[in-house]
Amino acid sequence: MICFGPIPSRRLGKSLGINNICDKKICTYSCVYCQVGAKQRYSIERELFYEPKQIYMEVESHLGKLNTNDIPDFLTFVANGEPTLDKNLGESIQLLKKFSIPIAVITNGSLLYNADVRAELAQADWVSVKCDTANQRIWSKLNRPISKLNFNTMCSGMLSFANQYRGTLVTETMLVDEVNDHAIALERTACQVYGLSPSIAYLSIPTRPPAVSTVKPSTPEAINEAYQIFDKRGLNTELILGFEGTDTGYTGNAAEDILNICAVHPIREDTMRELLAKNNSDYSVLYKLIEEDKVVELEFDSKKFYLRKH
């Protein structure tokens, strides 16, 4: 599975997802709020996954199946892991530019100390960098990085990238209740984000089942305080707290669409209902995938979600 969607994105409009990590979740982090789940392979070493030509051909084929109204606003590298672990990321971005659709990459920023990663990522039109905290202790608790990562080196790498990047850079700070959302921590985070000069500093909360079941989104009071702190710092701050909507793209193959999307993007029940209707299908397709142990049903915030079972 390489392509999925397009799916409605709170930041990018209609986003055609590209999963360039072809294994189970491989990441430099194991964030407590991760929607892909807790099971993973830790790694800090870049490696080869899909050939860029294969990614290009998969995207070309997927675009050809879409309704005209579903042509995406962005081709977005959002993997079941950290996309910059892919040694071919830069070459893949270059090939995909032939479609004349802007390229986005959502990264945790942990490998930006690597000059090659910075150069490859600089080819994208839009980059989102994770910046959950400026406190090393909270970083270790919240993002649970691989032991080989150094916090200060990681922060310096993000700053180096921000200084050289000429595309649209945004940051995202995930607010988790009683972890990184108290005033002192938020002041330091806002200061760090300000140093990156993002076009928008997004504040978000977990809206899908997290890797650690005890994780809770920050309270409305804490979210408001975070916004005021970021805004006072002079950051163009936006909240992305709600559901993206149910308007997903579809290819006509319900089972394939479900598996492709929920491998990296848990599908909420109302979205699932609409996706099945678009594909002229019904819940029997979903139930069969659950029965075959390919999809699992989860609950979060009193809502049902469906996630691919690796």
pLDDT on residue 242 = 58
Residue 166 sits in a domain of what CATH number? Answer: 3.20.20.70
Is residue 251 situated within a structural domain? no
Euclidean distance between CA atoms 117 and 261, whole angstroms? 26
Is residue 133 situated within a structural domain? yes
Is residue 276 situated within a structural domain? no
Is residue 46 situated within a structural domain? yes
Please, are residues 180 and 132 in contact by the beta-carbon 8 Å criterion?
yes
Which amino acid, 29?
Answer: Y
10-residue mean pLDDT profile of the chain (310 residues): values are: 84 92 84 78 92 96 89 92 95 97 97 98 98 97 95 97 98 95 96 97 86 86 87 89 61 81 71 88 91 81 72
pLDDT on residue 8 = 82
pLDDT on residue 266 = 65
With tokens 């996706």, the residue in question is 275
pLDDT on residue 271 = 85
User: What is the number of other CB atoms lying within 10 angstroms of the CB of residue 125?
Assistant: 16
Q: Which residues contact 57 (CB under 8 A, 6 or more apart)?
A: none
pLDDT on residue 256 = 80
Parent domain of 118 = 3-244
Is residue 119 situated within a structural domain? yes
Euclidean distance between CA atoms 233 and 191, whole angstroms? 7
Please, are residues 83 and 111 in contact by the beta-carbon 8 Å criterion?
no
When divided into structural domains, the chain yields a total of: 1
User: What is the number of other CB atoms lying within 10 angstroms of the CB of residue 40?
Assistant: 19
pLDDT on residue 69 = 84
Is residue 281 situated within a structural domain? no
Is residue 225 situated within a structural domain? yes
Is residue 138 situated within a structural domain? yes
Which of these, 82, 75, 68, 73, lies nearest to 23 by C-alpha position?
82
